[in-house]
Structure 1
Amino acid sequence: MALSLSARLPSCSSSVFEKAHKLTTQPPILPFPSNLAACGCTLLPASMGVARRRRQVVGAVEEQHNQTSVLAPKQSPSYSSSKLVLVIGASGGVGQLVVASLLSRNIKTRLLLRDPSKAISLFGLQDENTLEVREGDTRNQNDLDPTIFDGVTHIICCTGTTAFPSKRWDGDNTPERVDWEGIRNLVLALPPTLERLVLVSSIGVTKYNVLPWSIMNLFGVLKFKKMGEDFVRSSVVPFTIIRAGRLTDGPYTSYDLNTLLKATAGKRRAVILSQGDKLVGEVSRLVVAEACIQALDLECTKRKIYEINSVEGDGPGSDPEKWRELFESAETN
């Protein structure tokens, strides 16, 4: 499927995604403590429809112009052209940013999508030598044909669903099916030549039976994410697991690639990495996407699990050395 980049939408200012965050991260209607929002699972407010939220986010974007992106190609390091990265969950908030960043680095990318037609609306038309699209669903083991992995050197998996029942659960898109069965099916299908699997998970997965995390886990999202993690860890796959805090900045599901490349994390660019499921807080989706890409080649991250938050301040951007130092310091703290 051939895919080319077109520049039609305006660029964004530093405040636009702070506005977007306020519009799209209102407290859920369930009366649980506010610190539960630290979990990286998606919460959809019942008080605002998805279409309405997207329209308002787009309106906020169009108010602002001329902001340098943390994903801008001019800031991206040079990567090996021998890579072929398979992105699973590419239509989600983190997944879209992963794809945009990979393409800005001229890294050949393959997508596994339940609905391949989404690729054009999200990422535009591009040459098939740059972006390939395959149809498939990790929930169905028969969909994971070996040809999907032909030539794939690295995989970034950022599939997920909502923590509480919502329309996103339609079609059996529940945490059990996505975060447990989907990850299990994926691992069983992986080729032995894979160099790295980076899996996006959530903070709090080791504490799903204790308050306040047990409330977030009422429908099993943290338990099933932990089961997926454990299956990855028990395999021979060279993995890196990134447990995200509560996701901010977005959603980006109404933007094309050109706009994604202009997305910013506002003031929340500084990165906090830890191990042992100790962090409680928020993280920009852009920071999570960058962490996934940086972890692909770092030997120190192999078969390791990290938690990630972002706070106000200057961050590592796309500097590989700064990211290496962050990952290494997480292991010594």
Structure 2
Amino acid sequence: MALSLSARLPSCSSSVFEKAHKVTTQPPILPFPSNLAACGCTLLPASMGVARRRRQVVGAVEEQHNQTSVLAQKQSPSYSSSKLVLVIGASGGVGQLVVASLLSRNIKTRLLLRDPSKAISLFGLQDENTLEVREGDTRNQNDLDPTIFDGVTHIICCTGTTAFPSKRWDGDNTPERVDWEGIRNLVLALPPTLERLVLVSSIGVTKYNVLPWSIMNLFGVLKFKKMGEDFVRSSVVPFTIIRAGRLTDGPYTSYDLNTLLKATAGKRRAVILSQGDKLVGEVSRLVVAEACIQALDLECTKRKIYEINSVEGDGPGSVPEKWRELFESAETN
């Protein structure tokens, strides 16, 4: 059943919270060359006011859009009102930015959350015609009721956990359960009418037994990411896989409130796209979120896998034609 964010959510003693995944204090992110340690982390502390939390996420997205010229903004597509994007992993670092960016584009969005109550603290009160929330967990196949996908045209999946044992592994939230079993369950539940599944993965998944990637893969995170990718590729689902470099924008993984409030994309706006798991580097979370949204409608990205980094310089912003050129260039290099 859909939960309207304009409705009153149940109290902590309700069944929603009893079924929800246990929320624990998160450890610092380990500085290894992958995005996996940062996937799915909550960006903002629970004590932060709803309005300020929402301004932080939406403000960062607006900062990315403001870097695009007036002419480029006029070139942005007018998205069809029939589009409904399901975001899985919306409470994570990339997922929050994906949702905020979709809302800024007036694209109807549905979230699949283990704890639906997080939606208000992350995105504020929204009209149910704009943002819907469903309770579910991809790790549990029985949670993926067909009604979750009713009307869904596109899916962006940003689920993930830490590469090394941490409190975030509590409740069986391990790489095997999230990155392999969760993706498998999701693919098996998808309707045949889906137009695109965009999956956020990691660079290095094809080299998990080679240094330095083997260090990151000590507990199997890259191996299970690759298994999830392979299951998607073996299906008939029209997919795009985005393998992100090590995620940057330090404020998004910082627990210092003053730093969080100043979070921007900084100077890392120029985008590098490649294929063949050749890249080694870092990427802004804002850039990853934008790449996911841009890939939704590009025919050239269907059933393709890309690696993405970002470096200092002016990037494509939110201009579709610039992103199309980047994706097409990656295929020819």
TM-score (norm 1): 0.79
- Report how far residue 232 of structure 1 moved: 0.1
Shift of 1:244: 0.2
Hey, what's the Cα distance between the residues in 2 that align with 1:33 and 1:142?
35
What's 2:192 paired with? 192
**Shift in Å, 1:264:** 2.9
Alpha-carbon offset, residue 93 of structure 1: 0.4
CA contact (8 A) 1:268 1:312 kept: yes
Q: By how many angstroms is 1:206 displaced? A: 0.1
Aligned-pair distance for 1:79?
1.4
Which stretches in structure 2 are left out of the alignment for 5+ residues? none
| Contact 2:35/2:246, CA 8 A, preserved across alignment | no
Query: Contact 1:100–1:123 at 8 Å: present in 2 too?
Result: yes
Residue 98 of structure 1 contacts residue 290 of structure 1 at CA under 8 Å; is this kept in 2?
yes
**Would the aligned equivalents of 2:114 and 2:136 in 1 still touch at CA under 8 Å?**
yes
What is the alpha-carbon distance in structure 2 between the residues aligned to residue 189 and residue 16 of structure 1?
22
CA contact (8 A) 1:201 1:242 kept: yes
Task: Specify the alignment match of 2:60 in structure 1.
Answer: 60
2:144/2:186 contact within 8 Å kept: yes
Quick check: 1:268–1:310 contact (8 Å CA) kept in 2?
yes
* Structure 1 segments unaligned to the other structure (5+ residues): none
Could you tell me how far 1:78 is from its partner in structure 2? 2.4
Please report the RMSD computed on the Cα atoms of aligned residues, expressed in angstroms.
8.9
Would you say the 8 A contact 2:269–2:315 is kept in 1? yes
**Please, which moves more after superposition, 81-90 or 11-20?**
11-20
Which deviations, in whole Å up to 9, do the C-alpha atoms of 1:43-94 show, x marking residues without a partner? Answer: 9999999999999999999999999999999996421211000000000000
Percentage identity across paired residues of the two chains: 99
Q: 1:13 to 1:58 in 2, by over 3 A?
A: farther
- Residues 110/213 of structure 1: CA separation in 2 closer, same or farther (3 Å cut): same
Q: Give the direction of change, closer, same or farther, for the CA distance of 1:132–1:329 in structure 2 (3 Å limit).
A: same
Structure 1 residues 22 and 214: alpha-carbon distance in aligned structure 2, compared to 1, 3 A threshold: farther
Contact 2:85–2:109 (CA<8 Å) still a contact in 1?
Answer: yes
Q: Which moved more, 1:193-202 or 1:14-23?
A: 14-23
Counterparts of 1:251 and 1:15, CA distance in 2: 34
What secondary structure, in the 3-state scheme, does the structure 1 residue paired with 2:71 have? coil
**TM-aligned CA distance change 1:58 to 1:79, over 3 Å:** closer
Alpha carbons of 1:284 and 1:70: their partners in 2 closer, same or farther (altered >3 Å)? farther
1:168-187 → structure 2 map (5 Å cutoff):
168-187=168-187
Deviation at 1:116, TM superposition (A): 0.1
Q: Indicate how the Cα distance of structure 1 residues 226 and 40 shifts in structure 2: closer, same or farther if over 3 A, else same.
A: farther
C-alpha distance 287-4 of structure 1, shift in aligned 2 (>3 A): farther
SS at match of 1:52: helix
Instruction: Decide whether the 8 Å contact of 2:198 with 2:242 is kept in 1.
Output: yes
In the alignment, is the contact (CA less than 8 A) between 1:113 and 1:133 conserved in 2? yes
CA distance in 1, matches of 2:95, 2:305: 19
CA positional deviation for 1:257? 16
Q: Is the 8 A contact 1:16 1:64 kept in 2?
A: no
Other-structure match for 1:260 = 260
Cα offsets for 1:282-317 (capped at 9, x unmatched): 000000000000000000000000000000000000
Q: Partner of 1:207 in structure 2?
A: 207
User: Which whole-Å CA distance do the structure 1 matches of 2:16 and 2:286 have between them?
Assistant: 14
CA contact (8 A) 2:87 2:110 kept: yes
Structure 1 contact 13–64 (Cα < 8 Å) conserved: no
Mapping of 1:1-333 within 5 angstroms?
A: 77-250=77-250, 252=252, 264-333=264-333
C-alpha offsets along residues 115-166 of structure 1, whole Å, 9 cap, x if unaligned? 0000000000010000000000000000000000000000000000000011
Alpha-carbon spacing, 1:237–1:162, altered in 2? closer, same or farther (3 Å):
same
- Judged with a 3 Å threshold, the aligned counterparts in structure 2 of structure 1 residues 28 and 213 are, in CA distance, closer, same or farther, namely farther
1:75 and 1:19 mapped to 2: Cα distance? 45
Of residues 293-302 and 45-54 in structure 1, the stretch that sits farther from structure 2 once superposed is: 45-54
**1:98-118 CA distances to partner (integer Å, 9 max, x unpaired)?**
000000000000000000000
Q: Structure 1's 137 and 8: CA in aligned 2 closer, same or farther, altered over 3 A?
A: closer
Q: The residue matched to 1:116 in structure 2 has which SS?
A: coil
Contact 2:27–2:167, Cα closer than 8 Å, also in 1? no
Determine if contact 1:71/1:101 at 8 Å carries over to the other structure.
no
The count of corresponding residues between Structure 1 and Structure 2 is 333
Return closer, same or farther for 1:258/1:97 CA change in 2, 3 Å cut-off: farther
Secondary structure of 2:22's aligned partner: helix
Distance 2:213 2:314 in 1: 30
Deviates more, 1:248-257 or 1:12-21: 12-21
When residues 64 and 272 of structure 1 are mapped into structure 2, their CA distance, relative to the original with a 3 A threshold, is closer
Does the 8 Å CA contact 1:24/1:53 hold for their aligned counterparts?
A: no
Q: 1:59 to 1:11 in 2, by over 3 A?
A: farther
Structure 1's 261 and 102: CA in aligned 2 closer, same or farther, altered over 3 A?
farther
Distance 1:26 1:91, change over 3 A: closer
TM-score by length of 2: 0.79
Could you tell me how far apart the structure 2 residues matched to 1:269 and 1:41 are?
Answer: 22
Give 1:20 deviation, angstroms: 29
8 Å CA contact retained: 1:3, 1:120? no
Distance 1:84 1:18, change over 3 A: closer
SS in 1 for 2:29: coil
